Amino acid sequence: MTTTNPEFYCPHSENCYECCLETEMPLSEKDITRISKLGFKIDEFLEEQDGFMVLRNIDSKCFFLKNGLCIIYENRPEGCRYYPLIYDLEKDEFVIDNLCMHYQDFNPSIYQPLHDPIRYFIYMLLSEKEIRFRKTEEEKKKIKD
């Protein structure tokens, strides 16, 4: 099951997996559901960081990186499909993440078709974080009462 959304094309992807090392890739509920349907246990590949659900690292590598390859590449998370194109909230613009070792090879302006899907993805992540926060607060309140 793959997505039909546009994605970032990285000509280095066959020889490079630096973005899979010490990743902090956020996952949407849709990502989590899709990956768990592949047979992976959620607590194996997922952890929470600052209210966001993110890919787990094992020995400083993405849980899904095996022998230099992503074992769920066709079903990889949406954020992985866009990376290294990111939305910089502070600058309020799309940029190539300077953590990518090839960031100087890319011109973010040519990836205009990805801007709306990435904005939507970010909005969805923030919304899901807020929903989890509210749910946690409601549970805390119930325990107090």
Between 91 and 39, the more confident residue is 39
Mean pLDDT value of segment 43-72 = 95
Indicate whether 3 pLDDT > 60: no
Alpha-carbon gap, residue 95 to 144, rounded angstroms: 45
Q: What is the pTM of this model?
A: 0.83
Q: Tell me what pLDDT residue 107 has.
A: 79
Mean pLDDT value of segment 32-48 = 96
| pLDDT tens by residue, 58-116 | 999 999 999 999 999 999 999 999 998 888 888 888 888 888 888 888 877 788 888 88
**In whole angstroms, how far apart are CA 4 and each of 1, 75, 100, 115?**
10, 11, 24, 15
